[in-house]
Amino acid sequence: PVEQAIHDEL
Amino acid sequence: MNIFRLAGDMTHLASVLVLLLKIHTIKSCAGISLKTQELYALVFASRYLDIFTHYVSFYNTVMKLIFLGSAFSIVWYIRRHKLVRRSYDKDHDTFRHYFIVLPCLILALLIHEKFTFRVVMWTFSLYLEAVAILPQLVLLQRTRNIDNLTGQYVFLLGAYRALYILNWVYRYFTEPHYVHWITWISGLIQTLLYADFFYYYFQSWKNNVKLELPA
């Protein structure tokens, strides 16, 4: 999940 | 992508454009803190480490390139451009970088979701972004003479953060398991730092007088 957050918001 | 996130990104983009307009067209960086701009360059450099290795969407990649490119070019303008740098208020912009960068780095090493280089750097960028506006706010308070574009620039930056909070609230209720305490708390602190500025911004707007922060 943390990797997901890294990727999808700016 | 929800409407709050899009509005937040567009507000962020608008803030950068307002600042570039001031610097590029008027050739002035009066009232702008170089320290804050350098901190933003560091924020984006440490956050977008994955820009060429992990593709999310065309939108994300373009926005990342814009924020990185604009952050570094603004720093370049203030430091190197012979007209722009003349208007830089060096004597009032005295905030020390390491007072901000070092605590953020230590905090990121201590509090993070996962101990990997990328996640720690990303967390560092969140903490740093939360407080990167401080030198700018201090400069505004010291010079007491805030021109229109500078006032709008800071207002748009604050609005962008407030919209991101609405985006997180929306995502929390619409996406399963969307919980990011570190992002939320640092984002909330970042937005609260603007509270004072917002108050005086709206006062000046309501009473139609020039924006001025009390000493």
| Mean pLDDT, contiguous 10-residue spans, chain B (215 residues) | 96 97 95 98 96 91 97 97 95 94 98 94 97 96 88 97 96 89 96 95 93 85
Chain B CB within 8 Å of residue A5 CB: yes
**Surface of B (25-54) touching A: CB under 8 A:** 50, 54
Cβ-nearest to A5 among B67, B164, B180: B180
d(CA B197, CA B193): 8
Write the ipTM. Answer: 0.86
Q: How many CB atoms lie within 10 A of CB B183?
A: 18
Chain B CB within 8 Å of residue A4 CB: no
Chain A CB within 8 Å of residue B113 CB: yes
- Those residues whose C-beta lies under 8 Å from the C-beta of residue B146, and which sit 6 or more positions away, are B31, B140, B210, B211, B212, B213
pLDDT band at A6 (very low <50, low <70, confident <90, very high): confident
Q: What is the pLDDT of residue B145?
A: 76
- Those residues whose C-beta lies under 8 Å from the C-beta of residue B23, and which sit 6 or more positions away, are B29, B32, B74, B77, B78, B81, B84
Q: How many CB atoms lie within 10 A of CB B8?
A: 22
